[in-house]
Chains A and B, each alone.
Chain A
């Protein structure tokens, strides 16, 4: 899922300067699961904005709404009335959600209330870690399902680097060495021989080298 975290209240107040009626718009998908922009966070951030507004005399009027998915036109429709009756939208969706709303409502200022961080998973309660860099050319099958592009601090495809200490990364000692994990995983599935193969330089063309990416499925086009 897409993992994000909320911006701090003073930054949000600064972003919303000059507007009176604000719609705080949550998203019921990824950012709900990572506890950053769902219905509950919409409620908390809206309360904090109202309190801040009253304390500082800003006169903000905050409306709350959470829709199923901000990155999908079908669901955005549910927010149409609320968006129209407010001066600006503070989206608690990921970066894709914010832009989807802004593209749909060209006359309405739409601002991001979250910092979209990465594609990851819930490691344990309250801890999320990055697992995928969305590089566009997946190599997971070669490394036992552990991604060296994302999880090795040096992005090494022919690791390990030799700097790890007690199975921990030398760049981020709080993280396990990705190549140690790859070794253990390949060993447990009986594919250690994969480590004999030299991995050629990665093709970064499907990554962000040519600007934003897109996928066209002719079989689904109308």
Chain B
């Protein structure tokens, strides 16, 4: 199965979504990320028993604090997906890209000329 997903995302691998901390999400947005999609294993199939549930709670907490800060919480989303479920992965990524596109660039990045320039060079 050869499926194409949007090329404007960066995959960051972690041993388990339970490894993710709230500050990772905060720093990602602070550093200019337009969106963060956390892809955890399906509920009930975590190798570490409850890593994906921990991630879910942390994502929800981070969304709350982002909303408090006046930042669009929709830029952070978690999905649960099997490692072999390529079709759903493509759909989820495409949907996330669409959400972010509607929201526009991260306001933190656009407000900081230096950061914005750095991003342009990378792309």
Contact = CB atoms under 8 A, between A and B. Distances in A.
Are A and B interaction partners? yes
Interface in A29-66: 40, 43-44, 47-52, 54-57
Given A9-B65, A40-B21, A44-B23, A50 B30 contact: yes
Interface string B76-103: 0000000000000000000000000000
A155 interface: no
Given A9-B68, A9-B69, A54-B112, A40 B23 contact: yes
B111 A44 contact: no
Contact of A51 (B22, B23, B26): B26
Given A9-B65, A52-B71, A55-B71, A47 B23 contact: yes
Contacts of A49: 69
A44 B70 contact: no
B33 to A, nearest CB: 11
Contacts of B68: 8-10, 48, 52
A10 B70 CA distance: 9
Interface residues of B, number: 17
Contacts of B29: 47, 51
The winner among B21, B23, B68, B69 for most chain A CB atoms within 10 A is B69
A10 B68 CA distance: 6
Given A9-B69, A44-B26, 19 more contacts: A9-B65, A40-B22, A44-B22, A44-B23, A47-B23, A47-B27, A48-B26, A49-B69, A50-B30, A50-B108, A51-B66, A51-B71, A52-B68, A52-B69, A52-B70, A55-B107, A55-B108, A55-B111, A57-B111
29 contacts: A8-B68, A9-B65, A9-B68, A10-B68, A40-B21, A40-B22, A40-B23, A43-B26, A43-B27, A44-B22, A44-B23, A47-B23, A47-B27, A47-B30, A48-B65, A48-B68, A49-B69, A50-B30, A51-B26, A51-B30, A51-B108, A52-B68, A52-B69, A54-B107, A54-B108, A55-B108, A55-B111, A56-B70, A57-B111
